Structure 1
Amino acid sequence: MRVMIKIAAINGSLREDSYSAKAIQIAIARIEALGAEVTFLDLRNMTLPFCDGGREYDQYPDVEKLRQTVKEADGLLLATPEYHGSVSGVMKNALDLMSFDELSGKVTGLISVLGGQPNSNALNHLRLIMRWVHGWVIPEQVAIGQAWQAFNEEGKLIDEKLSERFDKFAMSLVENSQKLR
């Protein structure tokens, strides 16, 4: 009997019409189509303080929600815009608010969205962060360059090859989460 895989998905963009949010929604739909349960944590709708290196943030219930959701998940899906050659500050802060307790051993899939040409800077930085906290990053990753022309009016991907990459990415995240569970 297969046990349902749980994935926590974090959108690391605060923009109202975020391309990262569009990308993560596409990934979520494909992950759910494979039978996994996804809990979406949209940082646009959460109130998180700047991490001060401490562990107690009692006046911010969303910190506990973030930590508990990630801790209970088998896998993690992170989507970030690339700002100045790295991850968004809000994504880094959300990860900093967690520790080995939540992140260690977590199978992780990474998506980055850029206004310019696709590259791997934000993805490489997320890999380093996840490796540091003993997470397992899948080899498949998605970098969407020139995001302003990657989606149609309904938020669907225009490029069929990119769509196929999302399928392989989702399959890898679900299968590897199942294996390492």
Structure 2
Amino acid sequence: MPLRTLPDPDHLPALDRARLPPDSVPAGATPPRILLLYGSLRTRSFSRLAVEEAARILRHLGADTRIYDPVDLPLPDHPDAAAHPAVEELRALSAWSEAQVWCSPERHGTLTGVMKAQIDWLPLESQGIRPTQGRVLAVMQVSGGSQSFNAVNALRLLGRWMRMFTIPNQSSVAKAWQEFDAQGRMRPSPYYERIVDVMEELLKFTLLTRGHRDALVDRYSERQGAR
């Protein structure tokens, strides 16, 4: 079960659609392909709920989204796990994507092991393919207590290490347990508005870099090594 179904994808009760630009994706353009990852396996996972809200916004803006479900993902470096279907699907989705959204709860002052395991299964290079290089990245976190930025800061470091273009804006939802209703939908709030801001910016950067990714990540040292 590597992909998660997005419930009520067109139901956006907290979004004022009149405030969004009508032409986020140019007419005739291929929808930007965006992969969303979250960092908790709990039945009521606030990082997953935040990612689902982000996916709905991205869909409304014209993007093609996929939410990866890490429930079956083995631990990194587990013997014979590289051929596991969940690992293969995660890597295929990363190669499919033009941009990604990473959302983790903050646990012990940083991202969760579930989040880190997904990133660790994406190697810098595999059979001549770089699964993350040149892709645009947005980082988000949810917290059970007061607002913090430890997880998004750690995700930014990982994004740089994975050779991704991490956008300036980010989202950190404090006391996430009170920001979602019983149906798992995010209530109208400045936190929700920030997620809309981040998704708008992610889409803009994805469109700006489209068609230029190879040139942007072309490196002198690697050209030297290929001689």
- % identical equivalent positions: 31
The runs of 5 or more residues in structure 2 that have no matched partner are: 1-27, 125-129, 211-227
Answer yes or no: is 1:28 the counterpart of 2:52.
no
State the alpha-carbon separation in 1 of the partners of residues 78 and 88 from structure 2. Answer: 15
The answer to which structure has the higher strand fraction is: 1
Aligned residues: 178
The structure 1 segments of at least 4 consecutive aligned residues displaced by more than 6 Å after TM superposition are 53-56
1:62 deviates by 1.0
* Residue 50 of structure 1: aligned partner: 75
State whether residues 82 and 88 of structure 1, in contact with CA within 8 Å, keep that contact through their aligned partners in structure 2.
Answer: yes
**TM-score for both structures, normalised by structure 2:** 0.74
Distance 1:76 1:54, change over 3 A: farther
State the alpha-carbon separation in 1 of the partners of residues 188 and 57 from structure 2. Answer: 16
1:64 deviates by 0.8
State the alpha-carbon separation in 2 of the partners of residues 156 and 50 from structure 1. Answer: 30
Distance 1:110 1:55, change over 3 A: farther
1:178 deviates by 1.2
Task: Provide the secondary structure at the position in 1 that maps to 2:30.
Answer: coil
Task: Provide the secondary structure at the position in 2 that maps to 1:102.
Answer: coil
Q: Name the structure, 1 or 2, with higher relative contact order (CA <8 Å, separation 6+).
A: 1
Match of 1:66 among 86, 90, 96: 90
Q: CA RMSD in A?
A: 1.7
Q: Which amino acid aligns with 1:126?
A: L
1:24-173 alignment, distance < 5 Å: 24-44=51-71, 47-52=72-77, 57-58=82-83, 60-100=84-124, 101-173=130-202
State whether residues 24 and 79 of structure 1, in contact with CA within 8 Å, keep that contact through their aligned partners in structure 2.
Answer: yes
Distance 1:177 1:62, change over 3 A: same
